[in-house]
Structures are given as structure tokens and as C-alpha cells.
Structure 1
């Protein structure tokens, strides 16, 4: 899943930043204890204090406040992600009451008009749920990976629509038909990936709340 590498990078960056901040503190304190440079260079000491304050705020205080906001809004975040998950799930094959979600899929077996209608319906459904929750999730939850995935899904649906239109114009062109099927499969794979990503985030949230 795409979210795991991103979260791992952020974790490594936080660890590296924390280590660098501790090192800077040690150096500043060592200089203060062993020399009188801070008393002699007032401007330099002010710059150093400002840098340390900024690092503390960026690496610790801001993260702590953000985490507190996320915990406060967790019930609404859970509702929003569950709504997204159910929207991306196939109602006939999923067992929503049991938490079993089977991703929706666009069928490329029909004629071009039917496939276009299926893509349009999928795009409209995703747009509606995004309009309902995108503002809240962007402001109150640490789910940027999911938002990026949903946005990429919308782009893949647009690409699938264009491929179907091209195949409809040239029905005898085998390459165009193959490109249409490949584009639809890419969109379906993106839907499955979004479902997996949301389920992983909900699982992580559940463990944090336990």
C-alpha cells in the first residue's frame, strides 16, 4: 500500500530531527558551560535561541497539539472514513454489517455506452462523498495518503473515460480496445487500493484507541 512508505519516511524524519535537536542542545549547553561566547555575542545567542525555539515548536509542540486535535475529532474521522469505505464497497458482494468490504469494480464487458455510464456513476459517487468529507479530513485528520489516493482514483476514472471514448470511435482498433480494458483495470486497482488504505488507517486508529 502506498501509505506505508510515506508514514515510514515521516517517522524516520521525525527521529532524525529529534536526534539533531538533541545534538544542537548539547552543543549549545556545552558552549555555554565551557566558554563565554553567548555573553560576548548577544546577536548570535539570540539567533541560536530563536532556532532552538523554532525546532522545539516544529518537532514537538506543534505535533503534540496536532495529535490532540486528531484524538478529539477521532469519532467524526472514523465516521468519515467509514462512509468513504462503504462508498467504495460493492453493496451486493460486501457484508457491511460484518465489516467485510469488497471493492467496487467497473465491468468492461458491456458495450461502450454501458461502460461509460458505469464510469460516470462511479465518478459521481466518489465526488459526492468527497464533497461531504474532504474539507473536514483535510483540516482535522492525518489521512493525507487516503486523500491523495482518492484524488488519483478520480484521475484514473477520467483516463478510463477517455480510453472508452477512443475505443468507441474506433471499435475495429484492437489496440484501442486493449488500452480501454487496461485503463479500466487500473481504475479498479485504484479502487481496491483505496479500500485497503482506508481499512489499514481504521485498523491503526482502532489500536490507538484501545
Structure 2
């Protein structure tokens, strides 16, 4: 979520909270000026329940959610950074300086995928498996915590999609090794390209989320 979309969400929440407060004031004004609710008992009960729901949903819940988000902001940032470590190329990245290069799967270099040897395809499968295990460990550690914050939903979805894509790369590599056809070659190349694209997209998403957290912390939100 970008800074702009975060502001739009805050404006929307503020607008709904204001409407809930106005509705409460209108109900109180009607009660004080006319005594209507004492005459229509069933309707007054329904209105009372509606007011309670509005106050809980749009005022109390949003206030508690913002307070909880501020309280756990350092932990949330740590979780996002952990994912960033899991998908960063360790040889080319310097996370402390904000330089993050996403991991990528490489096509066999000996003439391309259609001329890949058994050893090259095996190395590709092993790399895909290691990358998937790294993501799975990070996901198992932080998924429950991040799921409590809807802002982090895109991160969790991207991680799950990459894990599925890495399985597909592994399956395509096995298929090409078993049956070296043009179709299997094309499928492996497409799977690798898709996997690398998803890695890059997740890096961008994580960096955006971390930037939003840092800006909100600096603003004292």
C-alpha cells in the first residue's frame, strides 16, 4: 500500500466515523425533543442496536486498530524486513544501505534450456527448492502476525504465489529432463521468467510497505 492510498483509507475511516457520531447525535436530539423512542419500543431497540454497531464498527474499532498498529509497528517492520532478507540476492544486495536485488533463477548457460545437461537441471531444481524453503520459513514465522493487518495482505499473497511458482519451475525442470521437447523447454523458460518477475514485484511491495511504516513513524502516527 502506498502513502497516498494509506491517506485515502484514513480519510474514508474519518468520514465514516463522523457519520456514526452524527447519527448518534440525531437520535439523541429526537429523543430529547420529541420523546419518540419511548412511544415506539421495538423501533427504539432497533435504533439502539444500530447506534451501538456504528460506534463499535466505525469509531471504537478504528481507534483501537490505529493504536494497535502504532504499538506493533516495530515488529511489523521486522517481519517485512525478514521477508526482504529471504528473497534478496545475498551476493548483490546491501540491505543496510537500501540496495536490494531480488533473487532470480538462471536458465542453464550451456546453449539454453533446450541444451541443458542433467547436472544443470538438477542445480536449477535445487535452487528453486532452497528459495521455496526460505520463503516457507519466513511465512510460517510471520504469517499469523501479518494477517492481523490488512495492509500486509499483498505481501502474504505475493509470497504464496512465488512459492507456487517455484514448485512449477521444479516440475518443469523435471519434465524437461525426462522428455527434452520444445514444449517442455518453452514451459520451463516461461516458468523461470514468471518466477523472476514475481520476486522483483515482491521486493518492490516490501520496500513500499517499509517506507510507509518509516514515514508513519516519523510523523508520529
- TM class by shorter chain equals 0.7 to 0.9
Indicate how the Cα distance of structure 1 residues 22 and 69 shifts in structure 2: closer, same or farther if over 3 A, else same.
closer
Q: In the alignment, what sits opposite 1:158?
A: 167
Q: In the alignment, what sits opposite 2:137?
A: 128
Which deviates the most, 107-116 or 133-142? 133-142
Indicate how the Cα distance of structure 1 residues 56 and 193 shifts in structure 2: closer, same or farther if over 3 A, else same.
same
Once the two structures are superposed, residues 38-83 of structure 1 have per-residue CA deviations (whole angstroms, 9 ceiling, x without a partner) of 2211121111111121122112211211221121111222222112
In the TM superposition, 1:1-210 aligns within 5 A as 14=13, 17-18=16-17, 21=20, 24-25=23-24, 28=27, 31-32=30-31, 36-109=35-108, 111-139=120-148, 142-171=151-180, 173-210=181-218
Is the contact between residue 73 and residue 140 of structure 1 (CA under 8 Å) also seen in structure 2? no
Unaligned runs of 5+ residues in structure 2 are 110-119
Is the contact between residue 20 and residue 59 of structure 2 (CA under 8 Å) also seen in structure 1? no
Partner Cα separation in structure 1 for residue 67 and residue 21 of structure 2: 24
Indicate how the Cα distance of structure 1 residues 65 and 161 shifts in structure 2: closer, same or farther if over 3 A, else same.
same
Give the 3-state SS of the residue equivalent to 1:151 in structure 2: helix
Is the contact between residue 69 and residue 140 of structure 1 (CA under 8 Å) also seen in structure 2? no
Indicate how the Cα distance of structure 1 residues 178 and 60 shifts in structure 2: closer, same or farther if over 3 A, else same.
same
Is the contact between residue 93 and residue 100 of structure 2 (CA under 8 Å) also seen in structure 1? yes
Give the 3-state SS of the residue equivalent to 1:109 in structure 2: coil
1:206, CA displacement in angstroms? 0.6
Partner Cα separation in structure 1 for residue 4 and residue 129 of structure 2: 32
Is the contact between residue 103 and residue 199 of structure 2 (CA under 8 Å) also seen in structure 1? yes
Give the 3-state SS of the residue equivalent to 1:206 in structure 2: helix
- Taking structure 2 as the reference length, what is the TM-score of the superposition? 0.80
Is the contact between residue 77 and residue 210 of structure 2 (CA under 8 Å) also seen in structure 1? yes
Give the 3-state SS of the residue equivalent to 2:147 in structure 1: helix
Instruction: Give the number of aligned pairs.
Output: 208
Is the contact between residue 116 and residue 161 of structure 1 (CA under 8 Å) also seen in structure 2? yes
The CA RMSD measured in Å over matched residues stands at: 2.9
